[in-house]
A and B are shown apart, each in its own frame.
Chain A
Amino acid sequence: MANDAASGKRSEIAIMVTVLVAVLLSMLNYHPSIQSMIPNWVLLIVIYWCLATPDQFSMFTAWGIGLFLDILDLAILGQHALSFALAALIVSAVSSRALHYSLWLQCLFVMGISILVIGLEIWINHLAFGYEISTLNWQSGVVAGLIWPAIRTILNKVSRNPDSRSD
């Protein structure tokens, strides 16, 4: 049981580090031709931790991370917060089953959530500023689903062994 607490602490650190790395990735300047295909890195991280450690990662954490991203991105406050909370709700509802999904099904699942989140965000921007829904960049959602296996593999490594020196 003591081991449990230690691993909980470790995964908390892992969550923080991976979120920060994802934010860093999302701040890079991508070539304009691929800009619309860049997945929401932070969302992928949120989905992973919701699936892998539902006990450590609550919906409130997802909401907080979203709010952090809103502040950094100079976006309308609450936009990412709400959409990440929604993603966390859906993921946590199926997390016990989704772990046993085949890889393909997981990819589709991630793709669906990503597109839903993009849709929600554009809808919020539509209500706030009158953006046209047709500007929805679903491509980034598809890319998110396609690179999910890679993200999962990397994060599996991180979560099993977040800090090898502490052993």
Chain B
Amino acid sequence: MSRTLISPFYQFCLLLVLSVALLILDNKTELFQPVKTVGAIMRQPFELGGRIQSEIPVVAELFQDKTTMQEQIRNLETENMVLRVQIQQYEAVKQENERLSRLLSIPVQNPGELLLVNIIKAQGYPYNQQIVIDQGFESGVYVGQPAVSDNGVIGQVTEVGFQRSVVMLISHVTQGLPVQVVRNSLLTIGVGTGISGQIRLPYLELEADIRVGDELITSGMGGHFAAGYPVGTVTEVLKDTTRPFLQVSAETAVNVGYVKNVLLLWTSDPEQGGESGREEIDDGE
């Protein structure tokens, strides 16, 4: 290794200028998009550790007690039975709803195709609100595609590789999601805070009818998400009369740290599937 003649301070200044140029170019332009794709490929060998980790419970299952297994199967069978009965009612309600919607000439939203994917990496850093999943354009994943879990909305796909995609969580600061309060159908927009598991509702007027504990679901207005997926629960409502809007925070329904599987949704409406850019909300405060 050669000893450079420039003093460490100037070396640092050189690197500082380089870094700032990179930061600005990466933030303001799409110039480095290919680099991100390369990065997603380069990650793969390093993800080995994480993959072995996720296999440990599977291996542990092999050594499980027979009676515990039987117990589990019995529980699952019971649960399955209950769900089957519930789904019968659901089918009836759905058909009735479709019939009523047609009568009122409201377009019917059908749930489209689903794909169960695995999380490879949840959040590189606590403030990096994204997860990497193990499916890419090979299986038809597209940018803007909604991702949900059994508890509710997770986020949307923002980068697609061959067998890897990045899902940005709804708690990421660049994310905005049209939501609806279940109790009174109040429509508003949920915006990410950058804090894991937290969103805020910055555009509610001071008189808006919202309380702590209100359930939020997707309203289906943005076009990406079909209506009705759980988003979160309101945890705090602050009324500051010097500000034009209420300060409302909500806890997301899904805690990504504890989620193992993610469902990707394809809307059955062909106009909505495919090309749709990343939805960004300008924070107009």
Against A, the Cβ 8 Å flags (1 = close, 0 = not) of B37-76 are 0111011001111100110000000000000000000000
Chain A residues with Cβ under 8 A from B3's Cβ?
55
Against B, the Cβ 8 Å flags (1 = close, 0 = not) of A133-144 are 001010000000
Kindly identify, within residues 127 to 165 of chain A, every residue whose CB is under 8 Å from any CB belonging to chain B: 128-132, 135, 137
Q: Please tell me which one of the listed residues B35, B125, B159, B174 contacts residue A129 in the complex, with CB atoms under 8 A apart.
A: B174
Q: Which of A81-89, A97-105, A106-114 contacts B (4 or more CB under 8 A)?
A: A81-89
Tell me if A55 and B124 are in contact (CB < 8 A): no
A121 to B132, CA, bound (A): 21
Tell me if B23 and A128 are in contact (CB < 8 A): yes
> For the complex, would chain A's binding face be called helix, strand, loop or mixed by DSSP majority?
helix
B137 adjacent to chain A (CB < 8 Å):
no
Q: Which residue of B lies closest to A92 (CB)?
A: B8
Tell me if B173 and A129 are in contact (CB < 8 A): yes
**Contacts A29-B50, A78-B26 known; A59 to B12 CB distance under 8 Å?**
yes
Q: How many residues of A contact B (CB 8 A)?
A: 47
B275 adjacent to chain A (CB < 8 Å):
no
Chain B residues with Cβ under 8 A from A81's Cβ?
15, 18-19, 22
Chain A positions near chain B (C-beta within 8 angstroms): 8, 12, 23-29, 31-32, 35-36, 55-56, 58-60, 63, 67, 71-79, 81-82, 85-86, 89, 92-93, 121-122, 124-125, 128-132, 135, 137
Chain B positions near chain A (C-beta within 8 angstroms): 1, 3-4, 8-9, 11-12, 15-16, 18-23, 25-27, 32, 35-36, 38-40, 42-43, 46-50, 53-54, 121-128, 130, 132, 159, 166, 172-174, 193-196, 255, 257-258, 283
